[in-house]
């Protein structure tokens, strides 16, 4: 009798595994499952400027590009995916070591331009690959203060981009997303994601058209909020940029917090919310119930460890619910909070990645702890937009009740 039951259990397990092998990977905003393995057929579509950059720095494209993790390497069940990096690991906040005046960084730059009053600064005349550790610390502080920092005309290898990312924190290795091949000259370079909208649209079935231009990374979102220690600095280096359009917008979480009334600020201070992953997995208990996301709880108001300023940590794509509220209450309040980022153009910066000198690329480094971003799909894939992205994970999110808002700290009007 017991043998029969064991066999039955085994059969169920096998069935679950077989169902799971149908691989509902990719994203819900895509049609069908994403392909896995090496993408030999996409080599011919790789923009010339991207190919030249990758080959210049020894990236082997002969096996195909981009590399998509094989399905055998991807966790099937959401509980397995949840366990990835599901424990605290050391994080060094580089911005805390920095000279508040940033003399080493600013002194070496030709020009430092604030692009708007509240968010976004461009540094002219510096190569990211040449920065000293002192300058990197100051850059980390500048990003913490200005939310996003831009560098045009960069000659940057993927390896150097990865090295800079590792300086800022543990580099995220995405279990599903397309990436640059894992090694170069035998050296491990895992952790460089490929951001190539046309590839993602066509190959993975991302529903992104002129009439439906809000999807994928073309909607307001924050990267990797479901991690135990979510994303800190993300560095996107675009090596193929449309001649017109393909802009990216960022909005400041510090400024969003300062837009709220004192009553709502007080209500949200100390509360937490549930954040989900962009990519789905399978529910082990209920494999037929459809895709399931990794979900994690974090403070909805975060204190940035370097500036000490409070930031509103929500985004429409991945913040599911405010803990402690009824769903209807949470939905209404979250809708309002998403709108604070999306509607206030004075707390946004819109950046055009051109001009950048031929053969060179443009880099943006932003802090996901204090921002949302949105890539504009106006080029409609007619001109290529390709880049490499390295994300440094930061601290376990926290709220310090003694921390201040940015405007309070800077002595600016709170009206
Ligand atoms: Fe993103």
**Residue ranges near ligand 1 (ion) with Cβ within 5 Å:** 217, 223
336 domain residue, yes or no: yes
- Tokens, residue 97: 């070591």
Q: Is 134 helix (H, G, I), strand (E, B) or coil?
A: helix
Cβ atoms 371, 146 nearer than 8 A: no
310 bridge partner residues: 303
The residues, any chain, with a CB within 8 Å of residue 266's CB and separated by 6 or more, are none
> Rounded to the nearest whole angstrom, what is the distance from the C-alpha of residue 217 to the centroid of ligand 1?
6
**3-class DSSP assignment, residue 23:** coil
Taking the centre of ligand 1 as the mean of its atom positions, its distance from the CA of residue 263, in whole angstroms, is 31
Of 51, 179, 373, 385, the active-site residue reads: 373
CA of 178 to the centre of ligand 1 (A): 14
**Cα(285) to centroid of ligand 1, in Å?**
31
Ligand 1 midpoint to CA 323 (Å): 25
Tell me the pLDDT band of 3, cut-offs 50, 70 and 90: very low
CA of 411 to the centre of ligand 1 (A): 32
Dist. CA 107 → ligand 1 center (Å): 31
Catalytic residue at 223? yes
- Going by the DSSP 8-state scheme, the letter that residue 69 receives in this structure is -
Mean pLDDT of the chain: 90
> HSE of 202 in the Cβ direction (CA atoms, 13 Å)?
11
Please tell me which residue in 36, 53, 221, 304 is annotated as part of the active site. 221
Q: pLDDT at position 183, please?
A: 87
Name the active-site residue from 223, 239, 247, 283.
223
Q: Does residue 74 lie in a domain region?
A: yes
CA distance linking residue 408 with residue 385, whole number of Å: 39
Residue 232 lies in a domain: yes
Residue 190 belongs to a domain: yes
The confidence score (pLDDT) of residue 69 equals: 82
Distance 372 CA to ligand 1 centre (A): 8
Distance 236 CA to ligand 1 centre (A): 9
How far are the Cα atoms of 85, 136, 231, 348, 377 from residue 396, in angstroms, in the given order?
12, 22, 10, 26, 33
Q: Is 340 among the domain residues?
A: yes
- Count other C-beta atoms under 10 Å from residue 341's C-beta: 26
DSSP conformation class of 55:
H
Burial class of residue 237, CB neighbours in 10 A (0-12, 13-18, 19+) = buried
pLDDT tens track for 140-153: 999 999 999 999 99
User: Which residue in the list 30, 174, 296, 389 is annotated as catalytic?
Assistant: 389
| pLDDT value at 5 more than 50 | no
Asked if the model's pLDDT at residue 75 lies above 90, the reply is no
Tell the residue number behind the tokens 């994970």, with chain if given. Answer: 393
Distance 262 CA to ligand 1 centre (A): 30
Active site residue 389: yes
CA 375 / ligand 1 centre spacing (Å): 8
Tell me if 406 is assigned to some domain.
Answer: yes
Interval 233-273: pLDDT, tens: 999 999 999 999 999 999 999 999 999 999 999 999 999 99
Residue 415 lies in a domain: no
Look at the chain and report how many structural domains it folds into. 1
Q: What count of other Cβ atoms lies within 10 Å of the Cβ of residue 232?
A: 32
Q: Which residues contact 313 (CB under 8 A, 6 or more apart)?
A: 222, 225, 253, 273, 298, 299, 300, 301, 302, 319, 369, 397
CATH of the domain at 139: 3.60.130.10
58: phi > 0 → left, psi -120 to 50 → alpha, else beta; which?
left
Nearest to 312 by CA among 337, 291, 333: 337
Residue given tokens 């994601």 in the structure block = 193
DSSP 396: P
- Say if residue 1's pLDDT is above 50: no
Tell me the pLDDT tens digit for each residue of 299-356: 999 999 999 999 999 999 999 999 999 999 999 999 999 999 999 999 999 999 999 8
Range(s) of the domain holding residue 369 = 2-410
pLDDT at 31 over 70: no
Q: How confident is the model at residue 280 (pLDDT cuts 50, 70, 90)?
A: confident
Residue 384: inside a domain, yes or no? Answer: yes
Angstrom distance (rounded) from CA 277 to CA 171: 17
């Amino acid at each position: 009798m017991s043998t029969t039951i064991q066999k039955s259990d085994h059969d169920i397990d096998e069935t679950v595994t077989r169902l799971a092998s149908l691989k509902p990977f990719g994203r819900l905003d895509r049609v069908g499952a994403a392909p896995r393995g090496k993408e030999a057929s996409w080599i011919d579509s790789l923009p010339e400027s991207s190919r030249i950059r990758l080959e210049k720095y020894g990236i082997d494209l002969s096996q195909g590009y981009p590399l998509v993790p094989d399905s055998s390497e991807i966790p099937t069940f959401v509980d397995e995916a949840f366990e990835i990096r599901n424990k605290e690991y050391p994080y060094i906040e580089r911005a805390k070591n920095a000279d508040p005046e940033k003399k080493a960084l600013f002194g070496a730059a030709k020009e430092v331009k604030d692009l708007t009053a509240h968010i976004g600064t461009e540094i002219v005349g510096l190569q990211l690959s040449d920065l000293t550790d002192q300058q990197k610390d100051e850059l980390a502080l500048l990003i913490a203060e200005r939310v996003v920092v831009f560098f045009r005309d960069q000659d940057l290898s993927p390896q150097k981009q990865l090295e800079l990312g590792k300086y800022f924190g543990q580099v995220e290795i995405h279990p599903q997303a397309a990436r640059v091949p894992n090694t170069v000259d035998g050296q491990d370079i895992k952790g460089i994601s490929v951001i190539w909208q046309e590839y993602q649209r066509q190959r993975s079935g991302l529903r992104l058209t002129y009439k439906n231009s809000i999807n994928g990374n073309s909607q307001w979102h924050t990267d990797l909020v479901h991690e135990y220690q979510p994303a800190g600095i993300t560095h996107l280096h675009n090596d193929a940029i449309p001649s017109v359009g393909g802009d990216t917008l960022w909005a400041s979480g510090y400024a969003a917090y300062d837009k709220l009334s004192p009553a709502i600020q007080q209500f949200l201070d100390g509360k937490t919310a549930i954040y989900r992953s962009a990519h789905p997995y399978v529910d082990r208990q209920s494999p037929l119930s459809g895709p399931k996301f990794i979900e994690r709880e974090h403070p909805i108001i975060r204190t940035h460890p370097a500036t000490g300023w409070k930031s509103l940590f929500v985004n429409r794509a991945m913040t599911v619910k405010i803990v402690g509220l009824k769903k209807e209450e949470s939905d209404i309040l979250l809708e309002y909070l998403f709108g604070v980022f999306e509607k206030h153009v004075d707390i946004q910066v819109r950046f055009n990645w051109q001009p950048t000198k031929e053969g060179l690329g443009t880099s943006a480094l932003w802090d996901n702890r204090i921002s949302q971003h949105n890539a504009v799909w106006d080029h409609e894939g007619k001109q290529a937009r390709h880049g490499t992205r390295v994300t440094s994970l930061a601290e376990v999110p926290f709220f310090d009740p003694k921390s201040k808002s940015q405007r309070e700290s800077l002595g600016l009007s709170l009206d």
